Amino acid sequence: DTGVSQDPRHKITKRGQNVTFRCDPISEHNRLYWYRQTLGQGPEFLTYFQNEAQLEKSRLLSDRFSAERPKGSFSTLEIQRTEQGDSAMYLCASSSQGGPYEQYFGPGTRLTVT
């Protein structure tokens, strides 16, 4: 499968714990995005990487959230001190360099905070 992959697919954690998610984009894509989707809503933008540089962060991304893309390939999204309000589907997408090209989404990581 040469599409965007994410790991894990599901994560259940207790409030206050830290969690980390991984995204592997399509190999030739240098743009990588993280979105969050809650039930019944469209995805909401969280952050954007061009190669290894994190160029934009949404105000939705509190200080408890951090994302990295150390070698310009895979990316990780960490949530510290999880809260019940963090429960959502975390989606990763990638696209090619240049203008507004198509973004292809991964299957997502569903986070449940108990």
Partner 1 sequence: GENVEQHPSTLSVQEGDSAVIKCTYSDSASNYFPWYKQELGKRPQLIIDIRSNVGEKKDQRIAVTLNKTAKHFSLHITETQPEDSAVYFCAASLGMDSSYKLIFGSGTRLLVRP
CB 15 within 8 A of CB 113: yes
Residue 44 found at the interface with partner 1 (CB under 8 A): yes
DSSP string, 52-101: TEEEEE-TTS-TTEEEE-TTSS-EEEEE-S--GGG-EEEEEEEE-SSSSP
Residue 106 found at the interface with partner 1 (CB under 8 A): yes
CB of 16 vs partner 1, minimal distance in Å: 28
CB of 104 vs partner 1, minimal distance in Å: 7
CB of 18 vs partner 1, minimal distance in Å: 25
Q: What is the DSSP letter of 20?
A: E
The residues of the shown chain that bind partner 1, judged by CB under 8 A, are: 4, 31, 33, 35, 40-45, 48, 50, 55-56, 91, 95, 99-108
